[in-house]
Amino acid sequence: MTLSVAPRPLSLLCELTYRCNLQCPYCYNPRNLSAYRDELLDEQWQDVIHQAADLGVLQVHLSGGEPTLRPKTVLAAIESATQRGIYTNLITQGTFLDDELLDRYIAAGLDHVQISIQAPQTELADQIAGAHVHERKLQAIERVRSRNVALTLNCVLHRANHDLMPQVIELAERFGIRKLELANTQFYGWAFTNRSWLMPTLEQVRAGERIVAQAQERLRGRMEITYVLPDYYEDWPKPCMHGWGNAFMTVTPNGTVLPCPAAAAITTLRFENVREHPLSWIWTSSDSFTAYRGTDWMPEPCRSCERREIDFGGCRCQAFEVLGDAGLTDPACIKSSHHALMAQASHEKPPARFVPRRMTADRT
């Protein structure tokens, strides 16, 4: 597949701020958070959304950091997106989502809320989050659930909470959740730093598959449960972003535009900024978006692989994080000559403590 014409972007992730009141060790945000303090203004975000709509984007995801730390920006973004017929999704940890704010967002056209919890029990959840927030999150879940807006409950899985999947499912049942995501940590940014603390064991992952299969059967038609495996235990890489520069883009708090939310880690590419260039040029023609678009960039074994348009060579960011070269086959692929590194990483002895995600950590 040679792409002479850029495909249509369908989805835009707006990371409104990297500030967050939690310190979860599995955060995929970049490690140098303080480099993004110069945040776009509300009207700049609105302009980004209008430019994205002109390009054909159909869905806008509002995330961060914690997006509701910029409550008015979230509202302005929902308003602009709704004006253009775009579907809006708020990805939040919920600790600031009070009645008034939620009602304003829904009135402005918010379509869907994703709330994440750290664990099914207060003590462990608060320990992972680094703050006493679990009870407030449960209140936010109830608030969203009882209103006319769609809700997905998410729990990021790792070694410390993986055994509690049945309790997470129970909690979701108790709240009448229709859509539950049990997604293993993706190892980027802070999560890559904390990889050996977070990595579940193979036994945990296999048990998780059985637990989910049983729950899916039991709850069919009532709750949809998605279980995402860590790709360190898989034979084939994930079809990351459905191809680089193919359907998704991310705008970070300071206006940098990325083909993947984790791409800022790739120091060998220069990523453009919406303050300096139109979004359409960045999407269509910039070096960073064209670098790995299509299949022409692929090395072997991807180039001649029958799966090259199924998984697109896997994840460029993972190739960079693990191998230092974003242009190599994702080491999660069994055909990669570096695949053994993944098994090796999954057997590292976990440290006693994790590095909490902090905005100031990179300045010390």
Partner 1 sequence: MRRPCNAECSVNADALRYARGVRLHTEGDDVAWLLVPEGVLDLNASARAVLELVDGTRTVDDIAALLAQRYDAPIDELRTDVVSLCGSLRERGFLQ
Question: CA–CA distance from 200 to each of 96, 130, 143, 145, 161 (Å)?
Answer: 30, 20, 32, 31, 9
| Residue 89 near partner 1 by CB under 8 A | yes
Binding mask 147-176 for partner 1 (x = CB under 8 A): -xxxxx------------------------
Beta-strand relationship, 224-228 and 112-117: unpaired
Output 87 or 297, the one with its CB closest to partner 1.
87
Q: Which stretch binds partner 1 (CB under 8 A): 110-118, 276-284, 323-331, 353-361?
A: 110-118
Q: Binders of partner 1 among 209-248, rule CB under 8 A?
A: 220-221, 223-224
- Least distance to partner 1 from the beta carbon of 221, Å? 5
* Run of H or E residues at 232: none
Instruction: Name the strands in the sheet holding 87-92, side by side, starting at the edge strand that comes first in the sequence.
Output: 224-228, 179-184, 150-157, 112-117, 87-92, 59-63, 11-15, 248-251, 257-258
| Residue 137 near partner 1 by CB under 8 A | no
Range 80-85, long-range pairs (CB < 8 A, 24+ positions): 80/45, 80/46, 80/49, 80/50, 81/49, 81/53, 81/109, 82/108, 82/109, 84/49, 84/50, 84/53, 85/53
Q: Which stretch binds partner 1 (CB under 8 A): 34-42, 46-54, 106-114, 311-319?
A: 106-114
Determine the Cα–Cα distance for residues 179 and 222; give it in Å rounded to an integer: 9
- Comparing CA positions, the residue from 265, 277, 355 lying closest to residue 318 is 265
- Least distance to partner 1 from the beta carbon of 143, Å? 15
Output 29 or 89, the one with its CB closest to partner 1.
89
Three-state SS at 202: helix
Determine the Cα–Cα distance for residues 250 and 272; give it in Å rounded to an integer: 11
Among 3, 6, 10, 101, binds partner 1 (CB under 8 A): 10
Q: Which stretch binds partner 1 (CB under 8 A): 46-54, 84-92, 127-135, 196-204?
A: 84-92
Q: Binders of partner 1 among 240-299, rule CB under 8 A?
A: none
Among 47, 79, 111, 173, binds partner 1 (CB under 8 A): 111
Output 8 or 270, the one with its CB closest to partner 1.
8
Determine the Cα–Cα distance for residues 28 and 91; give it in Å rounded to an integer: 14
Residue 116 and residue 158 in contact, taking contact as beta carbons nearer than 8 Å: no
- Comparing CA positions, the residue from 97, 116, 112 lying closest to residue 154 is 116
- Least distance to partner 1 from the beta carbon of 334, Å? 21
- Least distance to partner 1 from the beta carbon of 41, Å? 27
Give how many residues touch partner 1 by CB under 8 A: 22
Among 6, 58, 341, 361, binds partner 1 (CB under 8 A): 58
Output 163 or 224, the one with its CB closest to partner 1.
224
Determine the Cα–Cα distance for residues 176 and 142; give it in Å rounded to an integer: 9
- Least distance to partner 1 from the beta carbon of 11, Å? 7
| Residue 85 near partner 1 by CB under 8 A | yes
| Residue 87 near partner 1 by CB under 8 A | yes
- Least distance to partner 1 from the beta carbon of 148, Å? 7
Output 104 or 159, the one with its CB closest to partner 1.
104
Contacts of 231 (CB under 8 A, 6+ apart): 237, 238, 314, 315, 318, 330, 332, 342
Q: Which stretch binds partner 1 (CB under 8 A): 26-34, 111-119, 265-273, 337-345?
A: 111-119
Determine the Cα–Cα distance for residues 242 and 28; give it in Å rounded to an integer: 18
- The torsion defined by the Cα of 13, 19, 21 and 27, in degrees rounded to 10, comes to 50
Binding mask 170-209 for partner 1 (x = CB under 8 A): --------xx------------------------------
| Contact footprint for partner 1 (CB under 8 A) | 10-11, 58-59, 61, 85, 87, 89, 111-112, 114, 148-152, 178-179, 220-221, 223-224
